Amino acid sequence: MAISNLQKARAAYQPKLPKALQGPVKAVEGAATQSVGNQAEIKELFPNTYGMPVITFEAGEPVELPPFNVGIILSGGQAPGGHNVISGLFDGVKSLNPANKLYGFILGPGGLVDHNYMEITADIMDKYRNTGGFDIIGSGRTKLEEVDQFEKGIQILRELNIKALVIIGGDDSNTNACVLAEYYAAKKYGVQVIGCPKTIDGDLKNEQIETSFGFDTACKTYSELIGNIQRDCNSARKYWHFIKVMGRSASHIALECALQCQPNICLISEEVEAKAMSLDDVVTYIANAVAKRAEEGNNFGTVVIPEGIIEFIPAIKKLIAELNDVLALPEAQSINSGNEQIEFVKRHLSKENLNVFKSLPSDVAAQLALDRDPHGNVQVSLIETEKLLSRMVADKLAIWKHQDKYVGKFGTQHHFFGYEGRCAAPSNYDADYCYSLGYNASRLIANGKTGYMSIIKNTTAPAAEWIAGGVPITMMMNLEKRNGKMKPVIRKALVELDGAPFKYFAAHRDEWAKETAYVYPGPIQYWGPTEVCDQPTKTLLLEKAK
């Protein structure tokens, strides 16, 4: 396999570990925990894994452990640093006993169910250290939730003598990890399940989890691209660039890119919902900024759009909620053509929601009515919101022009950044953070824990001062409606409008809309001054007020 010079040089990088993980550890337990919501129901659903304490690792005495094997699964969308979680786990497991083995299940949770696996040996591991991507074993979105799947899983786990399974995933995959941990604990199967917080979307965070891995690198990659576009934009001065960025429901990626690049406009879905803005309100907001810049002779600009915005427009949110229920009806399960599905939902929607449905451009309406992903999410990455909004802004400007308002010229370009960043080579932050998360998972396993997520905190400090430990997954859960039924799920973290990152953005956006205040962050750097190479996201720095 031919590799680039950068990859060769990066392979030699030894990621940093928190001081507590640099030698033998002891687990210090905090107080019993509660779930974030629906405590009685979650406790009843997870009798074996509910209420466990938060754990912090401190320096301890060496303990001899008999050899054991570990399995690993990459679940869901790719995120930079996945290979480093695996290399951290690999090194951690081998440091406990060189005879320990690490098995990777191929193409996500489906690999466990289908008994599709490989041993990750030192030779294989070394080819993937500090690289982006999930290609060492691949990823997938199979949802682990049926007893039949858990039972098929235990067969192969026993066959491979696996003591613990590490599931690297976002909120949905870690929810499944928790359900699996509970099931194996209830059945006394003796297999531990540990989760790891992954997702570029940045929405798996809370008091215990500072950030999900991959968010840092993905945002820096998109910010480099947005910065490049802004330089082009400010050079040619003839286009408005509409740039959609991934992130599912949450606008963390859009917000972080705005903090880094200072575009003229950045929409934040959570604010659109809080202000109960209609689609027309959003379009008017953008059109006003375009017209104001035109008055100053600036017929160019940048608009950053979070991919989930459409779900947050209150009328469309209500429509989606009803569509989810309609699509979960038993009669809907046998439909096998897109057109039939659209006709089916039209027949079942309430009058109010049907009107909203009919008012949407047909491509957007169709996407909302079509299949959800395996976790019941609308596939927002497939909706071309950047084109929809620019088309609607053009229409609005045309009306204003007709009414003799000066609107200048409005030429547009469209971009969607998502896949460009998910497999980028991890930044130093993600390389260290992910390696530590994986290494730490090996310590949770050695301490007999199950139903825990690996956590590393205090990551705005130098790596040696990072705090390692584990948080019970049940602590992050509440009940939410999925596929028409109330289910225990990890609560998603959306952008908080009273949080420091949003407040900073809100305090500066009027100036950024009017002036051309672009910042061009440039590419991720691995070697050089620490203020260039080792900075966490602006979101995290503002949250930690540093």
Return the residue of 49, 87, 192, 199 that touches ligand FBP, per CB under 6 A: 199
The least distance separating ligand FBP from the CB of residue 12, rounded to whole angstroms, comes to 29
Choices 44-52, 75-83, 350-358, 516-524; region in contact with ligand FBP by CB under 6 A: 75-83
Q: DSSP characters for 384-412? A: -HHHHHHHHHHHHHHHHHHTT-------E
Residues 6+ apart with CB under 8 A from 338: 366, 370
Give 54 or 79: the residue with its C-beta nearer to ligand FBP: 79
Give 183 or 417: the residue with its C-beta nearer to ligand FBP: 417
Give 381 or 440: the residue with its C-beta nearer to ligand FBP: 381
CB 194 within 8 A of CB 70: no
- Verify whether residue 201 is a known catalytic residue: yes
Contact call for residue 482 and ligand FBP (CB under 6 A):
no
Contact call for residue 170 and ligand FBP (CB under 6 A):
yes
| C-alpha of 308 from chain center | 13
Q: Pairing mode, if any, of strands 265-266 and 240-245?
A: unpaired
The least distance separating ligand FBP from the CB of residue 171, rounded to whole angstroms, comes to 7
Contact call for residue 153 and ligand FBP (CB under 6 A):
no
Structure tokens at 382: 């497939």
Of 255-314, binders to ligand FBP (CB under 6 A) are 307
Q: Which amino acid is at 64?
A: E
The least distance separating ligand FBP from the CB of residue 286, rounded to whole angstroms, comes to 22
Of 90-149, binders to ligand FBP (CB under 6 A) are none
The least distance separating ligand FBP from the CB of residue 2, rounded to whole angstroms, comes to 26
Cα 425 to Cα 441: distance, rounded to the nearest angstrom: 22
Give 109 or 472: the residue with its C-beta nearer to ligand FBP: 109
How many Cβ atoms sit within 10 Å of the Cβ of residue 465? 12
Give 307 or 543: the residue with its C-beta nearer to ligand FBP: 307
User: Nearest 5°: CA angle at 201, between 487 and 302?
Assistant: 135
Residue with the closest Cβ to ligand FBP? Answer: 77
Of 419-448, binders to ligand FBP (CB under 6 A) are 422
The least distance separating ligand FBP from the CB of residue 6, rounded to whole angstroms, comes to 24
Give the DSSP H or E segment for 489.
Answer: strand 485-490
The least distance separating ligand FBP from the CB of residue 27, rounded to whole angstroms, comes to 29
CB 73 within 8 A of CB 105: yes
CB 267 within 8 A of CB 306: yes
Cα 241 to Cα 238: distance, rounded to the nearest angstrom: 10
Site track for ligand FBP across 229-258, x = CB under 6 A: -----------------xxx----------
Q: What are phi and psi of 167, to 5 degrees?
A: -110, 120
Q: Pairing mode, if any, of strands 467-472 and 452-457?
A: antiparallel
Structure tokens at 465: 């001062």
Residues 6+ apart with CB under 8 A from 60: 24, 25, 26
Give 83 or 422: the residue with its C-beta nearer to ligand FBP: 422
The least distance separating ligand FBP from the CB of residue 198, rounded to whole angstroms, comes to 6
Cα 29 to Cα 56: distance, rounded to the nearest angstrom: 7
Contact call for residue 15 and ligand FBP (CB under 6 A):
no
Q: What is the CA radius of gyration of the chain?
A: 24
Nearest to 176 by CA among 260, 118, 257, 113: 113
- The angle that helices 351-359 and 362-369 make with each other, rounded to 10 degrees, is 130
Half-sphere exposure of 527 (CA within 13 A, CB side): 6
Contact call for residue 200 and ligand FBP (CB under 6 A):
yes
Helix (H, G, I), strand (E, B) or coil at 455: strand
Half-sphere exposure of 192 (CA within 13 A, CB side): 22
Contact call for residue 201 and ligand FBP (CB under 6 A):
yes
Give 214 or 501: the residue with its C-beta nearer to ligand FBP: 214
Structure tokens at 385: 């919101």
Return the residue of 109, 418, 470, 536 that touches ligand FBP, per CB under 6 A: 418
Size of the site for ligand FBP (CB under 6 A): 15
- Candidates 172, 201, 203, 432; catalytic one: 201
Give 71 or 80: the residue with its C-beta nearer to ligand FBP: 80
The least distance separating ligand FBP from the CB of residue 79, rounded to whole angstroms, comes to 6
Return the residue of 381, 428, 454, 539 that touches ligand FBP, per CB under 6 A: 381
Contact call for residue 76 and ligand FBP (CB under 6 A):
yes
Give 91 or 203: the residue with its C-beta nearer to ligand FBP: 203
Of 78-97, binders to ligand FBP (CB under 6 A) are 79
The least distance separating ligand FBP from the CB of residue 307, rounded to whole angstroms, comes to 6
Question: How many helical (H) and strand (E) elements, i.e. helices and strands, does the chain have?
Answer: 22, 15
Q: List active site positions.
A: 201
List of residues contacting ligand FBP (CB under 6 A): 76-77, 79, 170, 199-201, 246-248, 307, 380-381, 418, 422
